[in-house]
Amino acid sequence: MNRSTPDFKMPPDQKQLLVVLEKVAAYQRSSPENRAVELDELLREGVLSPSDAEFLASHSVTYKPHRRSDYHALDMFRMPTEGGGCVFIGPGGPPLTKRHARLPGFQAIVESFLQLPRPRDELLLHIEFTKQDRMAVAMEMSGRIIATRMRIRR
């Protein structure tokens, strides 16, 4: 079932995980520092209650600290589900930097992105196209990116 449909009922354990996330996000927003907060600090400062800690332990929830400015913080909490899947939840982070380019400029943008030093966490490159445009990106033997644009005809 799609979670965006009005018929979707969030399971109680996922609701509880959302409550824990809201507590952590509120604590981070209250601090002038843009830093990742470790779980032991959240417990020591009373941000999370003993019952929150028990919930995290009993549901095998893993916590990955992120700064408020992280674009990729949606994996702050990970909780396995009964069906063998898992739930990822975290704050949305700041708006992504958007760049627009025609095809010749696009190749340079992707190549410069790939040259960035690898951070401790993942980099995110999100590419959007119009409904009629598609892009194929492939590595050549030399390691350069070749981009081709295809227009879908109807």
Residue 133 β-bridge partners:
151
pLDDT at 27: 94
Which residue, 54, 68, 44, is CA-closest to 20?
A: 54
Whole-number Å distance between alpha carbons of 76 and 88: 7
Instruction: List the domain boundaries for the chain.
Output: 12-89, 103-151
Distance from C-alpha of 13 to C-alpha of 58, rounded to nearest angstrom: 11
Confidence (pLDDT) at 89: 84
Question: Counting every residue, how long is the chain?
Answer: 154
Q: Per-residue pLDDT tens for 45-89?
A: 999 999 999 999 999 999 999 888 776 777 789 999 888 888 888
Whether the predicted pLDDT of 102 surpasses 50? yes
Percent of the chain's residues with pLDDT above 90: 30
More confident residue, 9 or 71: 9
